[in-house]
Structure 1
Amino acid sequence: MVSVLGLLEAKESAAREVIERLCDEADRILAELVEAEGSLERLVIARETVAEVLNGPAVAAKEAAVKDVDEAPAGVMVVPRRREGLSVRVLPEEYQRVMAVVGARDGVRARDLTVALGREAVPAKIECVRSMAKRLVARGWAVEETPGVFTPAAGSRGPAAAG
């Protein structure tokens, strides 16, 4: 006769395996996303460089200014690299919300950040928010000095911050 506890332990083990498999898949997809973003960034730089060489720096600068507004495909949130004089207001609205929460605390974990954004604290939503926070880290808007704890980068606190 099989015990109820034994059945529950077997189901728990199976659920853990599913979670581990899905986490591995999410990590793989995130790595592919980072690679694709890097490739896109290199292509944009190459196009801008060629435009500058062919048309001169004035035309390339004008094209770059227009590109920031018009070039993003519909539905894609473009997170620019942080640089001197750039305000968090250039970030897509959802990333501005993430930065507002990160800036209001002394380090925040993805789960707490998810809840603060008004989302349900389920693994899929937490991973989505973690991915956003890591993208902000990769682009220089936030830092992750302690693994899993996000803080704003120096000079990027608040919606009016520049730097």
Structure 2
Amino acid sequence: MPSVMGLLEERERAARQRVEILQAELRDAEATWQRFVTARETVGQVLAEPRGRENAPVAASDERPVPVAGAVPGSVVPARRAGLEAAVLAPDYRRLMDILAGRDGEAMDCRQLAAALGLAPVPAKVEGVRSKAKRLVVRGWLVEQSPGMFSVPAGRGGGS
């Protein structure tokens, strides 16, 4: 018959081994998480910088580029302003603009946009299109005529 102290030591040893395994998994998970945080921060900084960094204006005090007016840190959609063409947008956003620009101000919903982009009109794809369209509305590239109905603002062709 085993002793009570022997049983307790055995269970303590097993618990200690489990804690060591979990601590190793936690260290690995934290390292992975930190890589993602660093990557997101780096991409945000890069996207916030003007294109052609070698010609970018620099602030005299710290030699860092001055952000582009209208740029939204971490965003691939700059704010719309006079003289800015849809060609500055990322390809997915440019395709949305091209589809809507060819409709002469006629609004489309996200299911129609998804289909026009060649995507299956399933919720995941439709929501992705909705997210992009909403971002274009917020930045002034599109208008939402009524909830969920998007178009290029009147008098403005949005094509590349």
- What is the TM-score when the length of structure 1 is the normalising length? 0.53
The answer as to whether partners of 1:77 and 1:92 remain within 8 angstroms in 2 is: no
The answer as to whether partners of 2:101 and 2:159 remain within 8 angstroms in 1 is: no
- Percent identity of paired positions between Structure 1 and Structure 2: 42
Equivalence map 1:1-16=2 (5 Å): none
Map of 2:36 onto structure 1:
none
Aligned with residue 54 of structure 1, among 54, 61, 64: 61
Bigger Cα Rg: 2
CA distance in 1, matches of 2:135, 2:117: 17
The answer as to whether partners of 2:94 and 2:159 remain within 8 angstroms in 1 is: yes
Alignment length (residue pairs): 103
Higher helix share: 1
Map of 2:90 onto structure 1:
92
Map of 1:3 onto structure 2:
none
Per-residue Cα deviation, 1:64-101 (whole angstroms, up to 9, x for no partner) = 49xx8xxx8xxx76110001100000000110000011
* SS of structure 2 residue aligned to 1:124: helix
Q: Given residue 103 of structure 1, which amino acid in structure 2 is its aligned partner?
A: A
Higher relative contact order (CA 8 A, sep 6+): 1
Q: Given residue 80 of structure 1, which amino acid in structure 2 is its aligned partner?
A: P
Equivalence map 1:96-135=2 (5 Å): 96-105=94-103, 106-135=106-135
* SS of structure 2 residue aligned to 1:112: helix
CA gap of 1:101–1:60, structure 2 versus 1, over 3 A, is: same
Where does structure 2 lack aligned partners over 5 or more consecutive residues? 1-43, 50-57
The answer as to whether partners of 1:81 and 1:140 remain within 8 angstroms in 2 is: yes
Give the CA RMSD over aligned residues: 3.3
The answer as to whether partners of 1:87 and 1:156 remain within 8 angstroms in 2 is: no
Shift, 1:54, TM fit = 3.3
Map of 1:81 onto structure 2:
79
CA distance in 2, matches of 1:158, 1:142: 9
- What is the TM-score when the length of structure 2 is the normalising length? 0.54
Where does structure 1 lack aligned partners over 5 or more consecutive residues? 1-39, 46-50
Shift, 1:104, TM fit = 1.7
